[in-house]
């Protein structure tokens, strides 16, 4: 709460620097090379990642898939949607 109050009272540029540093400190960082399997390592990393990292890596990975793979991925994730 104290951090939030301090940020509100800061100059906007200073506040942005403070928030950027705080988010950077909380970030998990990039995934490491798989030890067991790629899926196991990805799941482990995702458990530790921040919401911002999850969204960034998910979108970047999705965008690198071929159109066919994107369609298959969307069909797969939509099957689990309720």
pLDDT in tens, 5-36: 888 898 888 888 888 888 777 777 776 666 77
DSSP code for 3: H
State pTM to two decimals.
Answer: 0.57
56 has a pLDDT exceeding 60: yes
Any idea where the domains of the chain sit in the sequence? Answer: 1-28, 31-82
In 3D space, the residue among 31, 58, 27, 51 whose CA is nearest the CA of residue 42 turns out to be 31
Burial class of residue 15, CB neighbours in 10 A (0-12, 13-18, 19+): middle
74 has a pLDDT exceeding 90: yes
Residue environment code for 45-68, b if the CB has 16+ CB neighbours within 10 A, otherwise e: beeebeeebeeebeeeeeeeeeee
């Amino acid at each position: 709460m104290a951090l939030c109050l301090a940020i509100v009272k800061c100059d906007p540029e200073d506040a942005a620097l403070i928030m950027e540093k705080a988010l950077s400190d909380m970030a998990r960082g990039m995934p490491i090379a798989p030890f067991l399997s790629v899926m196991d390592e990805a799941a482990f990393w995702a458990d530790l990642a921040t919401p911002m990292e999850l969204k960034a890596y998910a979108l970047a990975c999705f965008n690198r898939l071929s159109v066919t793979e994107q369609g298959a991925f969307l069909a797969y994730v939509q099957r689990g949607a309720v």
